[in-house]
Chain A
Amino acid sequence: MRRVRPIAWYTVLIGLSLVFIAPLVWMLLTAFKTPGEATRVPPTVFPQEPTTSAFDTLMGNDQTPVLRWFLNSVLAATGQALLVLAIASMAAYALARLEFRFKRLIFGMIIATLFIPSFVLIIPNFLIVDRFGMLDTLWALIIPGAAGAFGVFFLRQFFLGLPRELEEAAVLEGANSWQIFTRVVLPLSKPALATLAVISFLTNWNDFIWPIYVLFSPDQFTLPPGLAILQGAYTINYPVIMAGALIASIPVLLLFVVAQRYVIEGVSRSGLKG
């Protein structure tokens, strides 16, 4: 790497960071203001009379079990991420490495559905989910979303880029497809799997249109539809809205901070380049 002038370099980096962070910091500060102060013109930066009343409003209501929603969100997002990893990796492996009839047709169909706006699927899927008795259960949030084409597409691409030599060596040692898949391909694919897991988790965590349709009981809600109820109640109470946004965002931000090493650096450490 070439030498960089540290001062100029960090000025650029920090300047850019402000653009990304400042709105989020503003969200944080607003959550601790009073409703009046939150919309004062000219604005105050730091809360003049810091208060946690916005959080009390969110948490202190037996009609709105925020912690329960939080737990449901974690369960649904984790469940879906795991399911996607399991089924998409198998399918992607077959599509990348094995030969069989209808392979092109199946892959073509999967890719084509990437282009269909998900709205058109909502009503038919609602009826299908009902048929399986999954309405108002977390299964409705875990299973249908795992059918998305992205995971298969993404992993197939990654598998195609893996060097064949290791797999070929395994063949010579008498390994079958399943053994090659689990002992050679998957270990090599940790970074891609981590990336896909994070993306699946985020997508599920932030989805709020589908959960609003399929979940009825407050006990089954995940955070986005749950917080939507609370926020609908306080349209111009910005501290409450921002506090709700914070509760929904902080866990995923933390997840990313922890996972990003695996997601990005893993790629370069995976021995891909032999």
Chain B
Amino acid sequence: MNLQFSRRGLLGLGAGAGGAVLLSACGDSGPNEKVTGGGQNAAPAPTAYTGPNVALAFWNGFTGGDGPFMKKLVDQFNTEHPNIKVSMNTYQWADYYQKVPAAVATGNGPDLGIMHVDNVATNAARGVILPLEDLAKALNFKAEDFSPPVWNAGVYNNTRYAIPLDVHPLGFFYNKTVMEKAGLDPSKPPATDEEYKAALEQMKAKGIQGDWVTPFEFTGSMQFQSLLWQFGGNLFDEQATKALYAEQPGVQALTWMTDHVKNGWSPKNVAQDADLVAFRNGKNAFNWNGIWTINTLKEDKNLQWGVAPLPQIGTQKAAWAGSHQFVQFKQKAKDENKLAAGKVFINWISQHSIEWAKGGQVPARAEIRDSAEFKALPEQAAIGSQIDDLHFLPPKPGIADAMATVVTAINEAVLGRKEPAKALSDGAAKANQLLEQNAKKYGS
């Protein structure tokens, strides 16, 4: 039994029996002044804004097909709220995460933004974002209104800093044409390890390398994480003091990936994105990829494809997922009106997130996920069915630094530079040093 699972078990239990009360009680004890740095955000969280006209800057990284969906929501919000004008700026995510802290530090930061769940703790600790505890309380949000792992991932040092907008899990994409060519039934994608390997063997017999394993972060390390959790392992301990990914489950997971190359199910030396490109070209049959791929594949009218939950390779179901979460940024001068209006915006978008789901996401809010409208989006709904099997990183500042060691280890192993066990243990040793550094830096 590993720590993360026991924690999730506990929270799952708690959610059914007043655990949310317990959680918000924790919040009542107030944010840790030393580390929040962002100061208090004690404005009452209204559901309607009646103050003077305000203009809010809303920054995010929705550069893809999802951008227009968010823009449409923002426009609709502006029409319905004549006294709030939200203007949206979009940057590449990588740029956004470097730009936003710098902008906030100089008092040029936006009012509202989106962050991936892995970045919430880091930005909370660095004083970039403000607590949203009061909003959660005023709207009476509970963990089960979302999904406990997603909901809890926005809490840093017992204080909530983020409200989930969506989750974007990994899904199993399959090219129906290629499956048919190999004599496989395209209506029955493999769901177990046995079925999976049988399918790969059958394709190999027909000269098709059916599952290109990518050594890069997108989406090789996401596939690794999913497998690791499926084999009962974990990346880090709950306090993020120690890397656990080099233990047996990790070795099993990574070996499963490198065996693809060894057994000729995947070509060697798959470059960045080549797995997906090959999938689109009819050279690759299977691809573990993010839900955002739905839109990419829909661009090809002739492509016959489907998507399913990840097959269960290990001993339990699990899938990697990211989550976009709403945050409010620290300002040089606090403006209660803007803070209040921002909260109205967050709540409104969250309520209307079915429109967002159409852009290729799974809404974080349970009522919307369970709605008939969401179920009518077959691809999103298929991937969304994994909602209870999702895992997130421990909400610790600087955790992304340690994740980089996982990415390197996978790259080394899949490209055949190192044996899986060696690659992972080298990476874990580095990760432990980085975790120790971070603990010191952020005073965890």
Residues of A near any B CB (own CB < 8 A): 35-36, 39-41, 63, 123, 126-127, 130, 135-136, 212-213, 216-218, 225, 228-230, 232-237
Q: In this assembly, does B103 line the interface, its C-beta being within 8 Å of a C-beta of chain A?
A: yes
B71 touches A130 (CB 8 A): no
Chain B nearest CB, measured from A236 CB (Å): 5
B91 touches A229 (CB 8 A): yes
With A41-B283, A63-B71, A135-B108 as contacts: A212 and B98 at CB distance below 8 Å = yes
Asked whether any CB of chain A lies closer than 8 Å to the CB of B294, the reply is no
CB pair B63 A216 closer than 8 Å: no
Q: Does B63 lie within 8 Å of A36, measured CB to CB?
A: no
Contact A213-B102, Cβ < 8 Å, known A39-B280, A63-B67, A229-B90: yes
- Contacts known (A39-B277, A229-B63); A216 close to B302, Cβ less than 8 A: no
Q: Which are the 6 A-B pairs with shortest beta-carbon distances?
A: A232-B92, A233-B63, A130-B106, A233-B64, A232-B63, A212-B95
Output the nearest chain B residue to A228 by Cβ-Cβ distance: B92
Residues of B within 8 A of A35 (CB): 280, 299-300
Q: Tell me, in angstroms, the Cα distance from A79 to B65 when the chains sit together.
A: 35
Whether A36 pairs with B91 at a CB distance below 8 angstroms is: no
Q: Does B424 contact A (CB under 8 A)?
A: no
* A126 with B302, Cβ < 8 A, contacts A41-B283, A233-B64, A236-B277 known: no
CB distance B95 to A216 under 8 Å?
no
Least CB distance, A65 to chain B, in whole angstroms: 13
- 28 CB contacts below 8 A, A to B, read A35-B300, A36-B280, A36-B303, A39-B277, A40-B281, A41-B281, A63-B67, A63-B71, A123-B102, A127-B105, A127-B106, A130-B106, A135-B108, A216-B89, A216-B99, A216-B103, A217-B89, A228-B92, A228-B95, A232-B64, A232-B92, A232-B93, A233-B63, A233-B65, A235-B273, A236-B280, A236-B296, A237-B299
- Distance of A212 Cα from B99 Cα, bound (Å): 7
> B213 on the interface (CB 8 Å rule)?
no
Measured CA separation A230–B67 after assembly (Å) = 11
Residue of B nearest to A236 (CB): B273
State the CA gap A237–B276 with chains docked (Å).
11
Q: Is the CB of B99 within 8 A of A36?
A: no
Taking the closest CB of chain B, its distance from the CB of A119, in whole angstroms, is: 12
Total interface residues in chain B, CB < 8 Å: 30
A63 to B108, CA, bound (A): 21
Residues of B that sit less than 8 Å from A by CB: 61, 63-65, 67, 71, 89-93, 95, 98-99, 102-103, 105-106, 108, 273, 276-277, 280-281, 283, 296, 299-300, 302-303
Say yes or no: B302 contacts A36, CB within 8 Å.
yes
CA of A239 to CA of B63 in the docked complex: distance in angstroms? 17
A217 to B108, CA, bound (A): 11
A126: B residues at CB distance < 8 A: 102, 106
- Which of A41, A217, A232 neighbours the largest number of chain B CB atoms within 10 Å of its CB? A232
Is there an interface contact between B92 and A216, defined as CB atoms closer than 8 Å? no
- Residues in chain B near residue A212, CB distance under 8 A: 91, 95, 98-99
Chain A residues within an 8 Å CB radius of B71: 63
Q: How far is the CB of B285 from chain A (nearest CB, A)?
A: 15
Q: How far is the CB of A207 from chain B (nearest CB, A)?
A: 14
Cβ A136 vs Cβ B281 within 8 A: no
| Residues of the A chain whose Cβ atoms lie less than 8 Å from the Cβ of B276 | 236
* Bound Cα distance A63, B91 (Å): 11
> A230 vs B62: C-alpha distance in the bound complex, in angstroms?
10
CA separation between A195 and B103, bound complex, in Å? 36
Let me know if A39 and B99 touch, CB within 8 A.
no
Q: How many Å lie between the Cα of A217 and that of B103 in the bound state? A: 12
- Could you say which residues of chain A place their CB within 8 Å of the CB of B65? 233
Residues of B within 8 A of A39 (CB): 277, 280-281
Q: Which of B92, B108, B296, B300 contacts A229 (CB 8 A)?
A: B92
- Rounded to whole angstroms, the CA-CA distance of A186 and B98 in the bound complex is 42
Given A40-B281, A230-B63, A63 and B90 contact (CB-CB distance below 8 Å): yes
Interface centre among B61, B64, B67, B102 (most CB of A within 10 A): B102
A42 to chain B, nearest CB (A): 11
User: Given known contacts A63-B71, A232-B64, A233-B67, what 6 new A-B pairs fall within 8 Å (CB)?
Assistant: A35-B300, A36-B302, A39-B277, A225-B95, A233-B64, A236-B277
CB distance from B415 to the nearest CB of A (A): 20
A191 to chain B, nearest CB (A): 38
Residues of A within 8 A of B99 (CB): 212-213, 216
Interchain nearest-CB distance for A6 vs B (Å): 42
Chain A residues whose CB sits within 8 angstroms of the CB of B61 once the complex forms: 232
CA distance A35 to B300 in the complex (A): 8
Please determine whether B281 and A213 come into contact, CB atoms closer than 8 angstroms. Answer: no
- Using known A-B contacts A127-B106, A135-B106, A233-B65, determine if residue A213 contacts B280 with beta carbons closer than 8 Å: no
Q: Kindly report which residue of chain A lies nearest to residue B100, judged by CB atoms.
A: A216
A234 smallest CB distance to B (angstroms): 8
Shortest C-beta distance, A232 to chain B (Å), equals 4
Are B108 and A218 in contact, CB atoms less than 8 angstroms apart?
Answer: no
Q: Distance (Å) between the CB of A60 and the closest chain B CB?
A: 12
A36 touches B300 (CB 8 A): yes
A36 to B297, CA, bound (A): 10
A41 to B279, CA, bound (A): 12
Residues of B within 8 A of A36 (CB): 280-281, 300, 302-303
Complex formed: what's the CA distance from A28 to B71 in Å? 32
> Distance in Å from the Cβ of B275 to the closest Cβ of chain A?
10
User: In the assembled complex, how far is the CB of residue B199 from the closest CB belonging to chain A, in whole angstroms?
Assistant: 23
Tell me the minimal C-beta distance from A218 to chain B in angstroms.
6
- Chain B CB within 10 A, most for which of A36, A130, A218: A36
In the bound complex, do residue B108 and residue A136 qualify as a contact, i.e. CB atoms below 8 Å apart?
Answer: yes
Residues in chain A near residue B273, CB distance under 8 A? 235-236
Contact A213 B98 (CB under 8 A): yes
Task: List chain A residues, Cβ under 8 A from B105.
Answer: 127
CB distance from B237 to the nearest CB of A (A): 32
> Closest approach, in angstroms, between the C-beta of B392 and any C-beta of chain A?
23
Return chain A residues, CB-CB under 8 Å to B296: 236-237
**Chain B min CB distance to A147 (Å):** 20
- Kindly report which residue of chain B lies nearest to residue A234, judged by CB atoms: B64
Q: Smallest CB–CB gap between B225 and chain A, Å?
A: 20
Q: Which residue of A lies closest to B293 (CB)?
A: A236
Q: Which listed residue, B108, B277, B280, B300, touches A216 by the CB 8 Å rule?
A: B108
Minimal beta-carbon separation of A51 from chain B (angstroms): 13
Residues of A within 8 A of B299 (CB): 35, 237
Cα A233 to Cα B283 in complex, Å, equals: 24
Contacts of A235 in B (CB 8 A): 273
